[in-house]
Amino acid sequence: MFITLEGIEGAGKGTLLRGLCAWLDETARPYIVTREPGGSRLGQVLRAELLDVRHSIVPEAELFLYLADRAQHVHEVIRPALAAGNIVISDRYADSTIVYQGYGRGLDVEELVRLNERATQGLWPHLTLLLDAPAAIGLERARKRNARKGMSTTEGRFEAEALAFHERVQHGYVTFAARNHARFAVLDATQPLEKVLQDALAVVQNRLNTSVNR
């Protein structure tokens, strides 16, 4: 089963991931955790370029770098792990491109769906957990976290975008999730961490009980 976590900056994906892993460890199910950008060796190089606040990247270049990261990631990491019977959990995937480069940057959403289809060779997640929170809340959390960990320069290119950009992204997520409601579970990420994890686990358990690995 292929699960992705999506949401604006600071929505709590990394935090939720740790809780999901602790639960999976208890159930002794085989799984791997990965992320975009940066899930492969090539992806790590691209991640440094994509997230550094000192870099200016035009939207089309940004798009193709994310797609390159994804194509390599699917081929090198995700498909082999699924074939070996693992649950694969990825912190961000194709929906991020549709929402950030589409709704956020203004590139054509339908074209982005087609390009993702090509980059992933048709691999879409079985389940996508969307952590939904107002942009201002997520951004505040992410900026504080980056300042605390000294990551504001090396990982802060998107956090440095205006609030209006993040509001378009948040709206884009909700819109695209409604269009793909069978795959998405939308979680209220303004709740306390324990409640977000509890809601996520209820969805994941339910899907695991009704799905088989592909």
- Residue from 3, 24, 33, 37 touching ligand T5A (CB under 6 A): that is 37
Site string for ligand T5A, 84-123 (x = CB under 6 A): -------xx---xx--xx----------------------
CB of 82 to ligand T5A, least distance (A): 19
Shortest CA distance to 89 belongs to which of 204, 195, 210?
Answer: 204
Q: What angle is formed at CA 95 by the lines to CA 92 and CA 99, rounded to 5 degrees?
A: 110
Number of chain residues interacting with ligand T5A (CB under 6 A): 27
Least distance (Å) from ligand T5A to the CB of residue 89?
13
The two structure tokens encoding residue 24? 């999976």
Residue closer to ligand T5A by CB (options 30, 188) is 188
What is the crossing angle of helices 135-149 and 163-179, to 10°?
A: 120
Give CA separation, 43 vs 38, 75, 93, in Å: 4, 12, 13
Which of 3, 51, 204, 208 is in the footprint of ligand T5A by CB under 6 A? 51
**Residues between 148 and 207 that touch ligand T5A (CB under 6 A):** 155, 158, 189, 191, 193, 196
* Range 54-73, binding ligand T5A (CB under 6 A): 66
- In DSSP terms, 33 is beta-bridged to 89
Quick one: which segment of 2-10, 22-30, 72-80, 204-212 binds ligand T5A (CB under 6 A)? 2-10
**Strand pairing class (127-132; 184-188):** parallel
Give me the DSSP letters along 8-38.
STTSSHHHHHHHHHHHHHHHT--EEEEESS-
Question: Should residue 145 be labelled a site residue for ligand T5A when binding is judged by CB under 6 A?
Answer: yes
Note whether 7 binds ligand T5A by CB under 6 A: yes
Residue 7 or 125 having the CB closest to ligand T5A: 7
Tell me the HSE value of 85 on the side-chain side, using a 13 A CA sphere. 2
Measured from the CB atom, the residue of 167 and 213 that comes closer to ligand T5A is 167
> What is d(CA 20, CA 204) in angstroms, rounded to the nearest whole number?
9
The residue ranges that bind ligand T5A (CB under 6 A) are 7, 9-15, 36-37, 51, 66, 91-92, 96-97, 100-101, 141-142, 145, 155, 158, 189, 191, 193, 196
